[in-house]
A and B are shown apart, each in its own frame.
Chain A
Amino acid sequence: MDSQILRQLEGYEKVTTDIEVLKRYGYDYRLERGLAKKYVERFHPHAIDVKVTDIINETNSTKTLRLASKQKYMPPFQAGQYISVIVEVDGIRTSRPYSISSSPDEIAYYDITVRRVEGGMISNYLLDSIKIGDSLQVSAPAGNFYHNPIIHSNKVVYIAGGSGVTPFKSMIQHAVNTGTEKEIWLIYGSKNDSELIFNDYFSKVASKYTFFRYIPVLEEGAGTYKGFITKDIIKEIVGDSSDKTFFICGPQAMYEHLLKELQPLKLKPRQIRMESYGVPADVFSQPGWPKEISQNTRFVIKVRGKKDFTVTAGQPLLQSLEKNHIVVPSLCRSGECSMCRVKLVSGKVYQPEGVKLRQADRRFGYIHSCAAFPISDCEIII
């Protein structure tokens, strides 16, 4: 401001004296170099360099990898959250989210539990190629699948399908380790009993503690409950459901089935928490997919300022970008977290139901590339 005017303002001398004095005794901000980042990195480091310190065989097709930080520090997380494992396989840099299966009070490491997926590039790599002592890079913990003590009931029903049981292992172990006021039911749907992950652990906890009930539901073989998880099974096991919070984690097909089964229970939306579990593997059978586009249809993707390439229909855009060595940060790979958001300048993409786009992003043409399937030639900006 014009110093001529300033000097005539009432109280000017007092302010300038303050300024002079404070300059003499004031703070030297050079002492803060890098400090804000350091504080934040205790919670949300950009990435964590980890070493595989143990590999535990869980079932024939499943192993737990124990990951400890090379910096000797793992950020805190809430039971139910996931990390994203960043890997380079066959020259392609990509990432996959895995729920942490160890308890948050085990502060020296994160466990992830990986089941073999047919044709699963990353799961097979982690199961077959990774040995004790190997290095990996993972993201900081993320995700919204956890118990909020303020709004969720202390009576919780966990419903798991297949490898979707891993976040519940973390929650249950945390409850055991810290002593809990919760009452917990775990209803675990699986093909057969040899496929049940953590079966021994859950059985042991159930026999020792009254707060926990473990109910495997098997498609094949013996057991009290057979077939799929149904409303009748749920009703019989948990009784009145109106005072309980349901946590559900499993493959896409299970959600469709379970949501139908849960309908007669008349649960409020706030009583149901669902973990996001990837995008549909077979997008061609999804409602709204344009019938004329088949697996043989090809499109040209133009990435402004970078390069053009051809894709076949049915692949998420993020995957095609990675195959073409264009790095886009990613985290949940389920259309939820928006890390892989890109701008669609022209062309059309198919977005499966449940993708969480901001209003403003929809309006200005942004898409989550992990959950966007090109259905025409497209131009995008990263």
Chain B
Amino acid sequence: MYDVIIIGAGNAGLAAAATLARKGAKILLIEKHNIPGGCATSFCRGRFEFEVSLHQLSGMGTPERPGPLRSVLDSIGVLNKLDFVEMEKLYRVVMPGIIDITLPTNKEELIKVLQQQFPNQRDAIQKFFDFVWQFFTEVIGAFYLNDPDINPKKYPLYYKYALKDTQSVLDEYFNDPLLKAVISPYWTYMGLPPSKLCFSDMAALLFSYVEFKPYHIKGGSQMLSNAMLEVIYENGGEVLFNTEVSKILIKNNTAYGVRTTSGQEFESKYVLSNASAISTFVDMMDDTVNQKALEQYKGSSVGTSFFTIYCGLDCDYHEVGINEETNFISNSTDMEFDYQLSKTLDTENSSFILTCYNVFDNEMVPKGTSQVVLVTMKYAEPWLKVPPHQYNDEKYRCAEAMLKNAEKVFPGIISHIEEMEIATPITHMRYLGHPGGGAYGFDQYVKDSTMFISPKPPIDGLYCAGSWYGAAGYQPTLTSGHSAARAILKEMRKK
């Protein structure tokens, strides 16, 4: 009999398992794949090791001025097992023939760079950033510092803007579509364009990256996953890899264990699922027990996946004109059209992110080489319609179109590619087991946020954590796993 069984060793599952094990809970972590991490992983090709998903870790801050994620990692017990590198730039935005601008992480400098580029929007730029900071200061006061008396008089901006979309706020401050596009490329980190993206989420990301800086984990995200697993082992936790849960055992609306595909049953006081909401409530439950839980997801849509090209270059990144770690490349300022393209197989016109991982960590690659990853948002639907025997041709066609666009900004890049691996939404479906390869879970409309849907399902003893039950990304999913573990520990103490 275990205290807690955790299904899935993604960021949230590992964070939860490590937190619980450290507090003495008897846990069993079950993972379908042969390595831990979910998205937070890496793979080797030739002389390269590729980072799969981590771009810019948010919420870290310095030891002297820690961000919220730093305290979470400390509480999970992995802070002293990892090395972090602070990034000096937010990102570079390139629209060939239109703009090429690099934004620093320092707030004052950031404002100055934008003002120099858009002199006729000088005041608006200052006002916008002041506003975002005031808004977020209210969020911190009300929620992070747990104000017992939250009201519209004390937090006027919060009450007015919390549910607004990002586009309407941008429109309120700016009239230049180019400036709006330069400020907003992070929408791709959340999976919805400004018109659909909750302003609170956008503000949180911008505030967090500027205040606490984007970070890189030395050795990549697999280092984080392995470190969390190490904490689990050190504290006597048990882990089963290559094992798939087929059923969550439920009696009288109370979860009491799991059954695996090989028929083995394990009992526990609590079950925590880091699997997708659809796997958890549909694949792992009978229709007699899942109705209430499923009811709340009826209006949610499966979020975006990605088309990714992992490239090992046989040259120094400067040689092909790469100077920054994070580069947003697009053809136009029309982010709405760009989002529409994510529902097609078109990569000729799609914007993409080009990340060069060894800008801040030269141990990521063999000497004299570079690791470059190009990624664009793509929903799975069109990929599921490609006949399997044309799949590889389609992969190469899409990759070539995207690389040709990269070539316009980084001339010579294609001729330097020594190793290449292409991942489609189907690849993400395979490794994550998520419907639609949804690395961000459901589409994150405001109605789907934790403001309106509680991550705690209406089944006793069952908890959920990860991108399907709240915001997506490293900081949110690690925090979600950590919080779910704390909620369980609180319950355990009551009994």
Q: Do A and B originate from a single complex?
A: yes
- A: residues with CB less than 8 A from B are 1-2, 5-6, 8-12, 14-16, 18-19, 21-23, 26-30, 32-37, 39-40, 42-44, 75-76, 78, 104-105, 107, 144, 148-151, 268-270, 305, 329, 336, 338-339, 341, 343, 356-361, 363-364, 366, 381-382
Contact partner, A15, options B226, B297, B417, B446, Cβ 8 Å: B446
Tell whether, in the assembled complex, residue A5 and residue B150 are in contact, meaning their CB atoms are under 8 Å apart. Answer: yes
In the complex, which residues of chain B have a beta carbon less than 8 angstroms from the beta carbon of A381?
233, 239
10 contacts between A and B (CB under 8 A): A6-B451, A21-B299, A26-B298, A26-B299, A29-B294, A76-B389, A76-B392, A268-B418, A338-B44, A358-B43
Bound-complex Cα distance A110 to B47 (A): 30
Contact partner, A23, options B299, B314, B418, Cβ 8 Å: B299
Tell whether, in the assembled complex, residue B384 and residue A360 are in contact, meaning their CB atoms are under 8 Å apart. Answer: no
Contact partner, B420, options A11, A43, A151, A269, Cβ 8 Å: A151
Assess whether B227 is interfacial by the CB under 8 Å rule. Answer: yes
In the complex, which residues of chain B have a beta carbon less than 8 angstroms from the beta carbon of A361?
222, 226
In the complex, which residues of chain A have a beta carbon less than 8 angstroms from the beta carbon of B227?
364
Tell whether, in the assembled complex, residue B363 and residue A40 are in contact, meaning their CB atoms are under 8 Å apart. Answer: no
Tell whether, in the assembled complex, residue B396 and residue A359 are in contact, meaning their CB atoms are under 8 Å apart. Answer: no
Of residues 449 through 491 on chain B, the ones whose CB sits less than 8 Å from some CB of chain A are 450-452
B 391-413 to A, binary, CB cutoff 8 A, 1 in contact else 0? 11000100110010000000000
Bound-complex Cα distance A241 to B429 (A): 40
Tell whether, in the assembled complex, residue A36 and residue B279 are in contact, meaning their CB atoms are under 8 Å apart. Answer: yes
CB distance from A357 to the nearest CB of B (A): 8
Q: A37-B283, A76-B391, A305-B238 are in contact. List 20 more A-B contacts (CB 8 A).
A: A1-B451, A9-B162, A10-B160, A10-B164, A22-B298, A27-B301, A39-B384, A39-B429, A40-B430, A42-B388, A43-B430, A150-B417, A269-B314, A270-B416, A270-B418, A336-B44, A358-B44, A359-B42, A364-B226, A366-B226
CB distance from A217 to the nearest CB of B (A): 27
In the complex, the chain A residue whose C-beta lies closest to that of B297 is A29
CB distance from A343 to the nearest CB of B (A): 8
In the complex, which residues of chain A have a beta carbon less than 8 angstroms from the beta carbon of B391?
43, 76
CB distance from A79 to the nearest CB of B (A): 10
B 418-441 to A, binary, CB cutoff 8 A, 1 in contact else 0? 111100001001100111100000
In the complex, the chain A residue whose C-beta lies closest to that of B314 is A270
Bound-complex Cα distance A361 to B226 (A): 7
Bound-complex Cα distance A359 to B219 (A): 6
Bound-complex Cα distance A364 to B36 (A): 13
Bound-complex Cα distance A23 to B297 (A): 8
Tell whether, in the assembled complex, residue A36 and residue B433 are in contact, meaning their CB atoms are under 8 Å apart. Answer: yes
In the complex, the chain B residue whose C-beta lies closest to that of A361 is B226
In the complex, which residues of chain B have a beta carbon less than 8 angstroms from the beta carbon of A336?
44
Bound-complex Cα distance A76 to B395 (A): 13
CB distance from A275 to the nearest CB of B (A): 12
In the complex, the chain B residue whose C-beta lies closest to that of A4 is B150
CB distance from A17 to the nearest CB of B (A): 10
Assess whether B220 is interfacial by the CB under 8 Å rule. Answer: yes
Tell whether, in the assembled complex, residue A150 and residue B433 are in contact, meaning their CB atoms are under 8 Å apart. Answer: no
Tell whether, in the assembled complex, residue B34 and residue A33 are in contact, meaning their CB atoms are under 8 Å apart. Answer: no
> Given that A15-B446, A42-B388 are contacting pairs, would A23 and B34 also be in contact in the complex, using a CB cutoff of 8 Å?
no
Assess whether B278 is interfacial by the CB under 8 Å rule. Answer: yes
Tell whether, in the assembled complex, residue B418 and residue A35 are in contact, meaning their CB atoms are under 8 Å apart. Answer: no
Tell whether, in the assembled complex, residue A30 and residue B314 are in contact, meaning their CB atoms are under 8 Å apart. Answer: no
In the complex, the chain A residue whose C-beta lies closest to that of B392 is A78
Tell whether, in the assembled complex, residue B434 and residue A36 are in contact, meaning their CB atoms are under 8 Å apart. Answer: yes
Bound-complex Cα distance A1 to B150 (A): 12
In the complex, which residues of chain A have a beta carbon less than 8 angstroms from the beta carbon of B163?
9-12, 14-15
Tell whether, in the assembled complex, residue A10 and residue B363 are in contact, meaning their CB atoms are under 8 Å apart. Answer: no
> Given that A32-B435, A148-B396, A360-B42 are contacting pairs, would A43 and B388 also be in contact in the complex, using a CB cutoff of 8 Å?
yes
Tell whether, in the assembled complex, residue A270 and residue B159 are in contact, meaning their CB atoms are under 8 Å apart. Answer: no
Tell whether, in the assembled complex, residue B226 and residue A27 are in contact, meaning their CB atoms are under 8 Å apart. Answer: no
In the complex, which residues of chain A have a beta carbon less than 8 angstroms from the beta carbon of B223?
359-360, 363
Contact partner, A151, options B45, B363, B414, Cβ 8 Å: B414
Tell whether, in the assembled complex, residue A8 and residue B430 are in contact, meaning their CB atoms are under 8 Å apart. Answer: no
Tell whether, in the assembled complex, residue A39 and residue B426 are in contact, meaning their CB atoms are under 8 Å apart. Answer: yes
In the complex, which residues of chain B have a beta carbon less than 8 angstroms from the beta carbon of A34?
283
In the complex, which residues of chain A have a beta carbon less than 8 angstroms from the beta carbon of B279?
36
Bound-complex Cα distance A10 to B446 (A): 13
CB distance from B144 to the nearest CB of A (A): 14
B 219-257 to A, binary, CB cutoff 8 A, 1 in contact else 0? 110110111011001000011011000000000000000
CB distance from A263 to the nearest CB of B (A): 17
In the complex, the chain B residue whose C-beta lies closest to that of A146 is B392
Of residues 274 through 325 on chain B, the ones whose CB sits less than 8 Å from some CB of chain A are 277-279, 281-283, 287, 290, 294-295, 297-301, 314
Assess whether B35 is interfacial by the CB under 8 Å rule. Answer: yes
Assess whether B447 is interfacial by the CB under 8 Å rule. Answer: yes
> Given that A268-B314, A364-B227 are contacting pairs, would A32 and B282 also be in contact in the complex, using a CB cutoff of 8 Å?
yes
In the complex, the chain A residue whose C-beta lies closest to that of B230 is A364
In the complex, which residues of chain B have a beta carbon less than 8 angstroms from the beta carbon of A35?
435
In the complex, the chain B residue whose C-beta lies closest to that of A1 is B451
Assess whether B152 is interfacial by the CB under 8 Å rule. Answer: yes
